[in-house]
């Protein structure tokens, strides 16, 4: 199985828990702007990489098991 990127894992968590970007921002204690930048396509100049640790913390807070 192909390993998912942290961005793909973030999107998976959001989809599984039906979380909005605002809800992710609230859970993670970051701004909505930060979450927008995490979810932009990598080709977008204003995209920011989300760390694997951040995604793992969100998964824990949201109660989602990520595929390994």
Q: What does the pLDDT look like over 5-63, one tens digit per residue?
A: 999 999 999 999 999 999 999 999 999 999 999 999 889 999 999 999 999 999 999 99
Q: Is 1 part of any domain?
A: no
Q: What b/e string do you get for 35-51 counting C-beta neighbours within 10 Å, with b at 16 or more? A: bebbbeeeeeeeebebe
The tally of domains found in the chain comes to 1
Q: Residue 2: its pLDDT value, please? A: 52
Q: Is 68 part of any domain?
A: no
pTM, full prediction: 0.88
Range of the domain at 43: 6-62
């Amino acid at each position: 199985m192909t390993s998912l990127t942290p961005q793909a894992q973030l999107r998976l968590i959001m989809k599984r828990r039906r979380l909005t970007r605002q809800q992710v921002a609230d859970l993670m204690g970051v701004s909505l702007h930060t979450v927008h930048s995490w979810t932009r396509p990598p080709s977008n100049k204003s995209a920011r990489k989300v760390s694997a640790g951040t995604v793992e913390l969100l998964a824990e807070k949201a109660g989602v098991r990520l595929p390994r």
